[in-house]
Amino acid sequence: MARPIVRWGVVLGLGALWWWAVLRLAFVPGAGVLEGAVAAGGWGLSLLPVHCVPKARAAGAVGAGRWRAAWRAARVTTASPLRRSDAGSGPS
């Protein structure tokens, strides 16, 4: 029971620290490098992909050789391009 309480305490404490830095940067003219580093670090952490799994365990992951096989099996089309109805399509 103590682990979730400690975890939530750490999360809330770090969140409060981040908001303090952001608000200080926004409203206090003398805010400096420390506040900027805390704000940028917290923002950078939000960009981490936290829901990553190894490719072998990912649902719907494409195997390494599948794309290569698809490109080799692809057929080149010989269809003519569609005609355009603009002014430059031919003599009038």
Mean pLDDT by runs of 10 across the 92 residues of the chain is 86 90 88 87 73 70 71 65 62 57
Q: What is the pLDDT of residue 9?
A: 93
Please give the C-alpha separations between residue 45 and each of 11, 39, 50, 60, 69, in angstroms, as whole numbers.
13, 10, 10, 27, 38
2-27 vs 33-46: helix crossing angle, rounded to 10: 130
Phi and psi torsions of 84, nearest 5°: -100, 150
pTM reported for the whole predicted model: 0.47
